[in-house]
Structure 1
């Protein structure tokens, strides 16, 4: 394991114009209204401007997984795995950046999230990883770099460990849930089950309010003294969350909190970069990034001083720079 020290000050984010916030809010309501009265395929057509089947893969259990695939097909692919309860849209800043650097960039909406099918079953890490394998096989991606944030970090780790050994060049985990979030006898530094039960309770009681409060506070560190919340960022998080299925998100809490990735990490042999904010209030750093880095065979660990869980959005220049240095090394 290689350890890199990084001290970064929280950069102030400018407050967006209230008109932009209003438009984002209206757009999110339009999407929810459409998905309520039409099929999920119609919703995908609304959001992508097409319904020709080229932006989705159907898994062996009949689930349609929406994806984006930008850039030259001959370029090295980078596959992005989003966090809970968001969508591939959460990677906009990274996808555009790497597209401009000549890479092929791919991101999918996890089953039950975003524009993918809102199915009843399969909201667990084994299915998540298998869905990625189906996507990778359809696109015939080789020598790929997989980058996962939060829950997406767990998904990426399980995919690489169980499906991607011959197709993966490197792995990046950002604010990721491995090795295990839940407090157990073997993981005494984890979070108590009550924390996740409370999340499920708040989601079931009032999902729109819960998501608004989650994005307005701990996810981006907007609850810290001196923070300047971006209303556009908050509503974009809310929009992505509300596009998905309440059932998938409810079940997904168990998936990201109770899955033990220790054996996955031990089996991964590709170079892996582990990035984490020291002020991550969602996935506390002490029981995640350093432990994952020690379990991995070839890891580089970098801790961002005072940065939050949603660091890819709040500080894209810092993250993108470190990612570029790692993928091109």
Structure 2
């Protein structure tokens, strides 16, 4: 299992498979790179780099507590160590925040496109923002993470999917909850606090890369109005709604999601020469 070692000693685990234009897969809060298992089918056309973000999966060794900025620095380190060029960044939930931070910095030159999966530019609502979560809901999540993490995590695993009946849904929700619950509550609490403090609205208009906005019609977190806001704020963006999905269309409708990725990649300029520097 390859690792990148950050300056503070944290070991960041990642997968690197396939050939072609790089797809950088950035997962959501409490998840890990295994939540992109259905995207492995793309390895015949693309180079897939799936990262366990700091504090998650196999990236829990040593280092500072995770924050959005710290994770973005880790990911930038992986991107530069692998010398990725003309990549497509795919950020799901928390991963989208990490991607936005990278696209607003020096690593931006290494990306040809971006995919945002069911995320808002500001998680906590305030006086002029109502497309995230209420301050009360954010605080309730913080308390649940710190006081009864196992219950919070297992319930969150079910909530990332559109409600369905049947054994397949039950097994998937149970798996997600169990994987979420493997995390360290202190690390997730630190990251949740960091995420609540972020506001990427000023960043969106500066994103130069074409962006695909993937929205689950049954998301319990963010509605179509959030996706519409992103579509209006990011200059070269397109919204794709997944009618049978909740917060996780890449898991719930993987064939349609992968097809949308292929079509999006085909619409981008051809990969540039390796003479590019960043």
Return the TM-score normalized by structure 2. 0.89
Deviation of 1:156 after TM superposition, in Å, equals: 1.0
User: Does residue 104 of structure 2 align to residue 104 of structure 1?
Assistant: no
Q: Is the 8 A contact 2:9 2:63 kept in 1?
A: no
Deviation of 1:227 after TM superposition, in Å, equals: 6.8
Q: Is the 8 A contact 2:53 2:59 kept in 1?
A: yes
Greater than 4 Å deviation, 4+ residue runs: 226-229
Deviation of 1:204 after TM superposition, in Å, equals: 2.3
Distance 1:293 1:87 in 2: 27
Picking from 162, 185, 191, the partner of 1:221 is 162
Deviation of 1:300 after TM superposition, in Å, equals: 0.7
Q: Is the 8 A contact 2:146 2:186 kept in 1?
A: no
User: Does residue 16 of structure 2 align to residue 69 of structure 1?
Assistant: yes
Alpha-carbon distance change, 198 to 118 in structure 1, aligned in 2, over 3 angstroms: farther
> Structure 1, residues 91-114: CA drift from partner, whole Å, max 9, x if none?
1101x12103x2110011111111
Distance 2:53 2:110 in 1: 20
> Structure 1, residues 272-296: CA drift from partner, whole Å, max 9, x if none?
111101221023332x321122111
Tell me the equivalent position of 2:189: 250
Tell me the equivalent position of 2:106: 163
Matches within 5 A, 1:283-294: 283-286=222-225, 288-294=226-232
Larger radius of gyration: 1
Distance 2:69 2:92 in 1: 17
Query: Per the alignment, in what secondary structure is the counterpart of residue 188 of structure 1?
Result: coil
Q: Is the 8 A contact 1:120 1:247 kept in 2?
A: no
How many residues get paired? 267
Query: Per the alignment, in what secondary structure is the counterpart of residue 43 of structure 2?
Result: helix
Tell me the equivalent position of 1:21: none
Query: Per the alignment, in what secondary structure is the counterpart of residue 164 of structure 1?
Result: helix
User: Does residue 84 of structure 2 align to residue 141 of structure 1?
Assistant: yes
Query: Per the alignment, in what secondary structure is the counterpart of residue 165 of structure 1?
Result: helix
Matches within 5 A, 1:100-249: 100=44, 102-119=45-62, 121-177=64-120, 179-216=121-158, 218-222=159-163, 230-249=169-188
Q: Give the RMSD, CA atoms, in angstroms.
A: 1.9
Deviation of 1:120 after TM superposition, in Å, equals: 6.8
Q: Is the 8 A contact 2:218 2:243 kept in 1?
A: yes
Greater RCO between the two (CA within 8 Å, min separation 6)?
A: 1
Distance 1:260 1:99 in 2: 34
Matches within 5 A, 1:20-99: 55-72=2-19, 75-94=20-39, 96-99=40-43
Alpha-carbon distance change, 120 to 59 in structure 1, aligned in 2, over 3 angstroms: closer
> Structure 1, residues 127-160: CA drift from partner, whole Å, max 9, x if none?
1211111000111111111111111111111112
Query: Per the alignment, in what secondary structure is the counterpart of residue 79 of structure 1?
Result: strand
